Amino acid sequence: MNTIAVFLIAFVAFEHVYFLILEMFLWTTPRGIKAFGLKSKAHAEDTKILAANQGLYNGFLAIGLLLSLFDSDLKMAVFLLICITVAGIYGAYTTKKIKLLYIQAVPAILALAAILI
């Protein structure tokens, strides 16, 4: 795996660690509320269990990507990056927040490109 691919995969993994922290631990804080554009603190409280579950999944993605680096497992990295790309596109489309596309899907697409080139 080339150095650029390793760097980009690690970047995407660490992004997902950050998403885990935001969703599992900071969801109801001003930082979490602002990051996800939540309507209110009450809305954040009402949805914190769902967000924690979502954060856990982001953690699984991060661990998978990091394992793919340690094992030089290109198939696992490609699969997870495709999943992240699809999730980013779907999230941007369903929430009408193009920012999700740039934050989640674009880095995964760049990492995919670095692997496949």
pTM, full prediction = 0.92
What region does 92 belong to: left with phi over 0, alpha with psi -120 to 50, or beta? alpha
pLDDT tens-digit series, residues 26-80: 999 999 999 998 999 999 999 999 999 999 999 999 999 999 999 998 999 999 9
The structure tokens 């394992």 sit at: 67
All structural domains of the chain with their residue ranges: 3-116
Considering just the CA atoms, what is the radius of gyration of the chain in Å? 15
The structure tokens 């995407």 sit at: 12
Residue 73 neighbours by CB under 8 Å, 6+ apart: 67
pLDDT tens-digit series, residues 82-113: 999 999 999 999 999 999 999 999 999 999 99
